[in-house]
Amino acid sequence: CDILCTVTCRYIYISKGLLHLLFKKSETMKLFQILCVLMLNIQFAVISTQLCQYTDKKSDVTCHGCHACHDLDALKRKVENMEQELACLQSNVAALKNALVFNKGTSSGNKMYLTNGQTATYNEAYTTCAKAGGQLPLPQTAKENKAILTLALQQKNAPFLGINDIGDEGTFRYPNGEKISYSNWSASEPNNEFGVEDCVELFNDGKWNDKNCEEKRLIICEFS
């Protein structure tokens, strides 16, 4: 728009110069010159004002009356905001589609435990739950542990829980790094058999057992 302003103003100056050369000897022609230049100024003022209205942004008056419509930053910001909102909506729709495959479940308090009936390694199950907007189950009370067990018994398969001691052998933590506040270990567990058991599965009696993360177990996801 600044370019348009510059071109417009130069055109006005050139027009003034040409008219002056052509009509300098005639007072009548001088009057006609003034009227022509005035009309040009009015026309370009209208055009520049309309452009400024399209940008929805303040304008400064420069080069003797020509409006320079500054930057399109406001419009760009609006477009960027809309793009971010669209990306967020697309992400939510994708998560919803992934969650729809979890059609069996139980609940405890404000937590829901759902399964798609499939089995996977710990990392695969973790990713599956994350894509659906959930996480692997993190029982923090006996009631929550029982709710997970109920679903596992329905599927006749042991699930992975969301805790592990991958980063610090023998110290089981939640995904956020905090030490677990509740546990229900089976007798003599965890024992890190063969030095490869960093994840946790839920036995059919509700007790916990440390397990190799590469084994496949029932996918149960926690939603809250």
Assess whether 104 and 202 both reside in one domain.
yes
DSSP 103: -
pTM score, whole prediction = 0.59
pLDDT at position 73 is 76
- Asked if residue 124 belongs to a domain, the reply is yes
pLDDT value of position 150: 97
Q: Do 17 and 60 lie in a common domain?
A: yes
Statement to judge: residues 50 and 158 lie in one domain: no
60 within some domain: yes
> Is the same domain home to 148 and 216?
yes
In a domain, 85, yes or no: no
The pLDDT, as a whole number, for residue 102 is 77
Q: How confident is the model at residue 50 (pLDDT cuts 50, 70, 90)?
A: low
Q: How far apart are CA 75 and CA 69, in angstroms?
A: 12
Q: Does 84 map to a domain?
A: no
| 176-217 pLDDT tens trace | 999 999 999 999 999 999 999 999 999 999 999 999 999 999
Q: Are residues 152 and 66 in the same domain?
A: no
Q: Which two tokens stand for residue 124?
A: 């695969």
Beta-carbon contacts of 59 under 8 Å, excluding residues fewer than 6 positions away, are 48, 52, 67, 68, 69, 70
pLDDT of amino acid 146:
98
User: Are residues 110 and 34 part of one domain?
Assistant: no
Is residue 35 one of the residues assigned to a domain?
yes
* Residue 82 included in any domain: no
CA distance 120 to 143: 25
Check whether residue 213 and residue 113 sit in a common domain. yes
Tally of domains within the chain? 2
Look over the chain and give the mean of its residue pLDDT values, rounded to a whole number.
Answer: 78
Q: Which domain CATH number covers 202?
A: 3.10.100.10
Does residue 88 fall inside a structural domain?
no
Range of the domain at 68: 2-74
> Domain check: are 105 and 70 in the same one?
no
Structure confidence at residue 13 (pLDDT):
45
Residues 130 and 214 in one domain: yes
pLDDT in tens, 85-100: 888 887 777 766 666 6
Q: Do residues 62 and 106 share a domain?
A: no
Domain end (from 39, 74, 109): 74
The residue among 41, 74, 107 that closes a domain is 74
Pair (111, 195) in one structural domain: yes
Which H or E run includes 96? helix 73-99
Same domain, 47 and 123: no
Q: Decide if 106 is inside a domain.
A: yes
